[in-house]
Amino acid sequence: MSQPKNLVVAQSGGPSPVINNTLRGIVEMARDCQEIGKVYAARHGIEGVLREELLDLSAQCPDEVSLLRYTPAAGSIGTCRYKLLSNQQEDFERVIDVLRAHDVGYFIYIGGNDSMDTANKIAQLGQARGLDLVGIGGPKTIDNDVGDTEFKLIDHTPGYGSAAKYWMHAVQNANEENRGSCPADPVLVMQAMGRKIGFIPAAARLADPHREMPLQIYMAENPCSLEQLASQVNDQLRADGRCLVVISEGFDVGDLG
């Protein structure tokens, strides 16, 4: 039987409410896997690998690790926004050197699309440099945009469910605010995250499944002109005296932005 190899896990991008639960699952499963030795966490994502700031999660008490299930955000091991671009060969080589120095055979990067790509590139370079390295992406994006469009590989990404629930409550609260302030402010606009995909703004409909609110939802996937949008809002105002608009950050607003 070959000697166990160590594992490095890192987080990237904006944290989701359940990102630490993914981390917990990795640590607990690795503990029961004979092929894995120590589990290291890179402090503040890939930047922690570059700086060789690795935390030994294997040394943590199992009861402490289990608390990650209920720990929000990414404060436990930190995250980063640093991207390894294709032309940054020096950074890639540094990552491989650090992983080799710590006898790492498994690298897990929790994040969005860029993180999945980075994990793959690091694994490929490691193999090319003679390092037996497995790269794994841990999907984490509240936008729900990691995976295939048919949702056969990934039916949802951890974090989206929490974001959808948040928006359901946010729209319900905004509806009450709009109802109370409509004589002075008849239109209330809320912008939802999601540059290219509209799962979060679509979740606003959960607040009004019977379509009783004067709610309009605009997503990048279903574009319309500003003139059309204004016309539809005005129609809503004539019908209900107020309008609640949820719009995706990726919606094309033309000259406005």
d(C-alpha 177, C-alpha 185), whole Å = 10
**Helices 89-101 and 113-128, packing angle to 10 deg:** 70
CB 164 within 8 A of CB 37: no
Of 143, 145, 240, 255, which one is the catalytic site residue? 143
Nearest to 40 by CA among 126, 107, 125: 107
Stretch (H or E) spanning 203: helix 199-203
For the question of residue 208 being annotated catalytic, the response is: no
d(C-alpha 187, C-alpha 8), whole Å = 49
Backbone angles phi, psi at 229, to 5 degrees: -60, -45
Nearest to 13 by CA among 110, 107, 84: 110
E-assigned strand segments in the chain:
5-11, 36-42, 54-56, 104-111, 134-139, 187-192, 215-218, 243-248
List the alpha helices (DSSP H) in 129-159: none
So which residues are the catalytic ones? 143
